[in-house]
Structure 1
Amino acid sequence: MQVAEKSATVTGAYNFLVRRDDLSSAMVAGAEIPQLQPGQALLRIERYAMTGNTLSYAASADQLGFWEFFPAPDGWGRVPSWGYAEVVESLHPEFKAGERIFGYMPMSSHLVITVSAPSAKTVSDGSRHRAHLPAVYNLYHRDPLRNEDQRNRRSLLEPVFLMSFVMDDDIKEHGEYGAKSILIISASSKTSLGLAYLLKRRNAGEVVGLTGAANVEFTRSTGFYDRVVSYDEIGALAALESVVSVDMSGNEDILRQVHEVLGDKLKRSFLVGITHWGGRMLSAVPGDVAEGEEAASMPGPKPQFAFGPDYVRDRVGAWGQEVFQERVDRASTDFVAGSSQWMDVAYVDGAEATLATYGKLVAGKIHPSQGMIVRP
């Protein structure tokens, strides 16, 4: 005999849901919180970031399993993001109510986790449905000390900076693949800015940004790029001698133009993000070249999909978790602190405002100088 799982009503609890077959369609639905079992904890999500990375998670969720972290009704998905939560109730002796943690959160008001491997600095979610998913997303950092602005900037920048860090490390490890220039497509995105910052800091070569005309001035103003080119001036890239391309946009038309202009000058072509949701998208699976005849027919090297968790796993395996985290933290400190020079934080309070802001994000109407923090 199967016993139905009990649930509890938490006033104001909700999930932000998007249609998996149409990411522009979203709604807010009331949420029932399951009754806690021994070892579980209930989190009230305090804040999370809404960025282009949010759309990258949603657009690649079917291929990369991101919908599986936070189950939703059939046809709908709970989009992952990064932020802070407070422990409301805990049935684990080493994880107390009142603690604050940082990590992978759904666009929701609450989350139940199964507390696993608690240490002085971290705790993992050992829920059965997450066990087969990349460990980097199941790890939460116990973080009681940061102030309001630090929590906001950490939510907005540190998770995407992790991808910036491992991409820079790969490019450095391979001697820039013999290229004199590193081209970053969708150069105004926060992951792109982090990568450009790291490349510029170590004089990796000429750092070239490719972005929309409306974002050229902002992208130049950060000081992270040696040259910034708009999408309608892609032909100017022909002057480059040898190039590694890192595409954060996922837009097939833009990447094809880059490949046609550069051809054999391209030493490597990486696919990293999907910031340009809504155009013709390139699809891929970790470790493979982009799928489809469109990618296969591009001149130059075939685009290679770079899956962040694989890079993190390899470096943690080589360096150990503690050394890896120390290196990431050391690299990110100045970048995050210095973001006050080029990024303002704007709050989004409540479910209805979240819906409206998500619509602007999908429509590409949030300026890259704005960092949107949702407070459910």
Structure 2
Amino acid sequence: MTPIHLVSKHNNAQTKTGYIDQSTLPPLQESPSSVRVRTQLISLSSNNLTYALAGDRFGWWSAYPVPAGTKLKSAESQKDTSTDADLDLNASWGIVPAWGYALVSESTHASIASGSLLWGFWPTSSHSFDLTLASFPESDRQPDSHFREASPHRANLMAMYNRYVLVSPSPRLNLDSDSAAQTVLSRPVFECGVLLEKYTLHRHRFTHPLGLPRGAPANTIPGVPAWGEKDADLRKAVVVSLSAGTKTARSFAWMLTSERSARGELETEGPRGLVQVTSVPQTLADFAAGDRRKTKLKVKNVGYGREELRAVVEWVRRLQEEEGVERVVMVDFGAAKEVTEALVEGLKATAEGGGDRKGLDVLGLAVGNESKVYSGEEIQARMASGQALGKVQFNTSGVRDRAAEVEGATAYFDGVDEAWKRCYTETGLGEVRFERYHGVEGANGIEGAWGALCEQKLAPNTGIVVRLIS
């Protein structure tokens, strides 16, 4: 019996383990685009909590429905403990997807041989499952190694979650290596950092944070403002990164400092300063180290203490006086709403004592949530706080779609891959650690890993890597 990790759709901290008899799997469908796959190596992070929290709204629960025939059993006795209420498991339970590698065990696809390794969005389980991987139309100018999942039940998923990449025709990559672990841990969110810096917060591209077409009117989506060159202009701005210890925030910081400097754009395009707020400031990358990463950008790393946050406000105020800073772009990667509210209030307020010092224009981008299981009341409060502060939500998939249209898909994906290689070589994310887990069951498997994630037992610079099948 093969174990499957199931998460409650009503209380994401509650889990069960289902079991399925894989010996009864039907033959692989006789179509030119069918592959049978098993997950090999994945990572778990706060993103997976988001997939569970908003699984119905964004279709993440539908990526991998609980297979028919799954039973809830005791792992020790294998005694069937299913009840009538358990028969339709998908009504209350789901499989949370995760990024990483999977191995093709069978294939009818002319371009994907049995034994091939694929990169993509996989179930947090070790059971075999089938995908329908179609080629992209030639007019899309997509890389030959990229395929799209075309199953009807996944039609509502955003495009990036239906994209699969052929890594190699045979599993030459060592999935037990540290480089593979760091890739599954950081590469999925690294792309978000690329899109933020190079497309959304760049005045020559100014891609809308939701991925709306350029020039879309403000009422395209009710309550969502338009986005233009002025919004993306960092020439007289300070960027404040909240929850800067997350891998997404580290990726953005590396792009904003190292890559923008290497492109010769830092002095001409800004920003004038970068503030990184995190509980682990000592683990952030030193962007003054190394020839290529030398930058004149002023960087301030602080914790969440009250005095430290006050110091941030004064530091930004000094840049306002000395360098003509006019605005603050606050990028929230998952800080507590109280932190955001306190900083916005301090930055917007006109300085006591009058004079020429003015309140700063503050623009907020919402990228991530806290690494926790939210109650309904908590998520409503966070959304209300974001709306009150005028935050604009960032959508990685939508911005990626627009970027690929502008650059051409092959050029875009090649560029992201090359940037990731440079970042990894430079240790550009700073001190990022990982804990290894194995299989589905027990404290050392996905069961234990999910518990550690839900209970916030991991430091912000530590992630989870799970080897499902050795």
TM-score of the superposition, structure 1-length normalised? 0.85
- What is the SS of the residue equivalent to 1:132? coil
Corresponding residue of 1:287: none
Letter in 2 for 1:149: D
Matched, 1:49 2:12: no
- What is the SS of the residue equivalent to 1:160? helix
Verify the 8 A CA contact 1:251 1:282 in the aligned structure 2.
Answer: no
Where does 1:296-307 land on structure 2 (aligned, <5 Å)? 296-298=387-389, 302-307=390-395
Verify the 8 A CA contact 1:70 1:106 in the aligned structure 2.
Answer: yes
* TM-aligned CA distance change 1:86 to 1:319, over 3 Å: same
How far the C-alpha of 1:26 sits from its partner, in A, is 1.9
Root-mean-square deviation (Å)? 2.7
Matched, 1:166 2:195: yes
Matched, 1:236 2:296: no
Corresponding residue of 2:131: 113
Verify the 8 A CA contact 1:259 1:266 in the aligned structure 2.
Answer: no
Which of 192, 217, 221 aligns to 2:249? It is 192
How far the C-alpha of 1:89 sits from its partner, in A, is 1.5
Verify the 8 A CA contact 2:366 2:393 in the aligned structure 1.
Answer: yes
Verify the 8 A CA contact 1:243 1:268 in the aligned structure 2.
Answer: yes
Which of 254, 279, 299 aligns to 1:226? It is 299
Corresponding residue of 1:24: 13
- What is the SS of the residue equivalent to 2:459? coil
How far the C-alpha of 1:341 sits from its partner, in A, is 6.1
Once the two structures are superposed, what CA deviation does each residue of 1:207-240 show, in whole Å capped at 9, x if it has no partner? 211122xx23223668798212222232323221
Corresponding residue of 1:209: 276
Once the two structures are superposed, what CA deviation does each residue of 1:313-356 show, in whole Å capped at 9, x if it has no partner? 11111111101112211221121234496234432012222211
**Using the alignment, how far apart are the partners of 2:96 and 2:425 within structure 1?**
27
**Using the alignment, how far apart are the partners of 2:21 and 2:235 within structure 1?**
55
Letter in 2 for 1:312: R
- What is the SS of the residue equivalent to 2:156? coil
**Using the alignment, how far apart are the partners of 1:31 and 1:318 within structure 2?**
45
**Using the alignment, how far apart are the partners of 2:360 and 2:54 within structure 1?**
29
Verify the 8 A CA contact 1:49 1:371 in the aligned structure 2.
Answer: yes
* TM-aligned CA distance change 1:117 to 1:367, over 3 Å: same
Verify the 8 A CA contact 1:84 1:151 in the aligned structure 2.
Answer: no
Corresponding residue of 2:30: 38
Verify the 8 A CA contact 1:343 1:369 in the aligned structure 2.
Answer: yes
**Using the alignment, how far apart are the partners of 2:412 and 2:380 within structure 1?**
29
Letter in 1 for 2:108: L
**Using the alignment, how far apart are the partners of 2:14 and 2:98 within structure 1?**
18
**Using the alignment, how far apart are the partners of 1:45 and 1:31 within structure 2?**
15
Verify the 8 A CA contact 1:246 1:269 in the aligned structure 2.
Answer: yes
- What is the SS of the residue equivalent to 2:239? strand
Verify the 8 A CA contact 1:178 1:267 in the aligned structure 2.
Answer: no
Decide which structure has the larger Cα Rg and report it.
2
Which of 105, 109, 112 aligns to 1:92? It is 109
Verify the 8 A CA contact 1:251 1:276 in the aligned structure 2.
Answer: no
Matched, 1:141 2:165: yes
Letter in 1 for 2:366: L
Verify the 8 A CA contact 1:101 1:142 in the aligned structure 2.
Answer: yes
**Using the alignment, how far apart are the partners of 2:130 and 2:49 within structure 1?**
24
Corresponding residue of 2:460: 368
Corresponding residue of 1:78: 95
**Using the alignment, how far apart are the partners of 1:122 and 1:304 within structure 2?**
31
- What is the SS of the residue equivalent to 1:157? helix
* TM-aligned CA distance change 1:210 to 1:31, over 3 Å: farther
How far the C-alpha of 1:307 sits from its partner, in A, is 0.8
How far the C-alpha of 1:167 sits from its partner, in A, is 0.7
Bigger mean CA deviation after superposition, 80-89 or 24-33: 24-33
* TM-aligned CA distance change 1:222 to 1:83, over 3 Å: farther
How far the C-alpha of 1:24 sits from its partner, in A, is 1.5
Where does 1:317-356 land on structure 2 (aligned, <5 Å)? 317-339=405-427, 342-351=431-440, 352=442, 353=444, 354-356=446-448
Verify the 8 A CA contact 1:87 1:97 in the aligned structure 2.
Answer: yes
Q: Matched residue pairs, number?
A: 354
- What is the SS of the residue equivalent to 1:367? coil
Comparing both chains, which one has the higher relative contact order based on Cα–Cα distances under 8 Å and sequence gaps of 6 or more? 2
**Using the alignment, how far apart are the partners of 1:107 and 1:374 within structure 2?**
9
Matched, 1:126 2:115: no
* TM-aligned CA distance change 1:124 to 1:58, over 3 Å: same
Bigger mean CA deviation after superposition, 302-311 or 119-128: 119-128
Letter in 2 for 1:346: E
Letter in 2 for 1:25: Q
**Using the alignment, how far apart are the partners of 1:341 and 1:171 within structure 2?**
22
Verify the 8 A CA contact 1:282 1:295 in the aligned structure 2.
Answer: no
Percentage of matched positions with identical amino acids: 23
Verify the 8 A CA contact 1:180 1:243 in the aligned structure 2.
Answer: yes
**Using the alignment, how far apart are the partners of 1:61 and 1:266 within structure 2?**
35
Letter in 2 for 1:38: E
Verify the 8 A CA contact 1:250 1:282 in the aligned structure 2.
Answer: no
Once the two structures are superposed, what CA deviation does each residue of 1:106-135 show, in whole Å capped at 9, x if it has no partner? 211133211211774122221111123222
Letter in 2 for 1:329: D
Letter in 1 for 2:372: W
- What is the SS of the residue equivalent to 2:187? helix
